[in-house]
Amino acid sequence: MYRDAHVGETAVGGAALALPASCAACPVRDSAICCVLDRSGLAALSRFGRRITLPAGQTLLWEGEEAITVGNLLSGMLKLSTLTGDGREQIVGIVHPSDFIGRPFGRNSPHSVTALTDATLCVFGRTAFDRFAQEHAAIGQALLERTLIELDRARHWMLLLGRKSACERVASLIVEIADRADGGPTIDLPLSRQQMGDILGLTIETVSRSLTRLKRAGVIALPSLRRIAIRKPDELRAIAEG
């Protein structure tokens, strides 16, 4: 399904200080977790990494199944999701480029990992990566800091899910995506209304109605289906905070 050439092959000629071939071309080499490694660590890690592509909609890891891979997202966007016994879905996280993917030090994946857009990843076998992380304290440390930030984010989202109204939730999502994209006032969302609902714990219809309410209030504009223009950022933020 997804396969590609080994990334490894440390620098040709054995010059220990050269960047591994594929890492040199890595779009997130300054921001992914590997950026804490020195040249030799990078070479060692890249030896068992491989680059893969994941078409939109395809699932990399299934909830409850054995979690055999971890890695970095290079481009595109992924979702992390869980299901209730009877199939209701909740998205529990969005993965952006340079974010770490997977569950080190645990046999089974606590949630599914699925591509929202076409995506490219740099993946490692979990057990090999676990071993590597234990030998290279810098990676363990970086992983810890990232995990702590993810935990903060997840808990912050719990406030949204537990206590905010539909409009507040939609406003929060727009703010969050705008902050992450960190571009102009117009954002391109990689999410369908259904997916927005799955993130916010709402139905499609409620998401749609909330968007039109925000639009009617002049806080945002909807130039196209997957595009949102923020007209009154402060007001939007105020609504989002509850």
Q: Which residues bind DNA (CB under 7 A)?
A: 165-167, 192-194, 201-209, 211-212, 222, 224-226
Among residues 86, 224, 225, 234, which is the contact residue for a copy of itself, using CB under 8 A?
86
- Token duo for residue 125: 């076998």
**Minimum separation from the CB atom of position 62 to a copy of itself (A):** 15
Phi-psi bin for 13: left (phi > 0), alpha (psi -120 to 50), beta? Answer: left
Tell me if 103 sits within 8 A of 70, measured CB to CB: yes
Q: Contact with a copy of itself (CB under 8 A): which of 19, 21, 68, 92?
A: 92
Gap between the Cα atoms of 80 and 87, Å rounded: 15
Q: How far is the CB of 174 from a copy of itself (least distance, A)?
A: 16
Among positions 53, 75, 82, 192, the unique one binding a copy of itself when judged by CB under 8 A:
82
CB under 5 to 8 A by kind: which of DNA, a copy of itself, none does 44 bind? none
Q: Is 180 in the site for a copy of itself (CB under 8 A)?
A: no
> What's the closest the beta carbon of residue 155 comes to DNA, in angstroms?
19
Residues in region 20-59 near a copy of itself by CB under 8 A: none
Q: Which does 85 bind (CB under 5 to 8 A by kind): DNA, a copy of itself, none?
A: a copy of itself
- Tokens describing residue 138: 């810098």
CB atoms within 10 A of CB 204: 14
Collect all residues with Cβ–Cβ distance below 8 Å to 208 and sequence separation of at least 6. 193
Q: Are strands 78-83 and 112-115 parallel, antiparallel or unpaired?
A: antiparallel
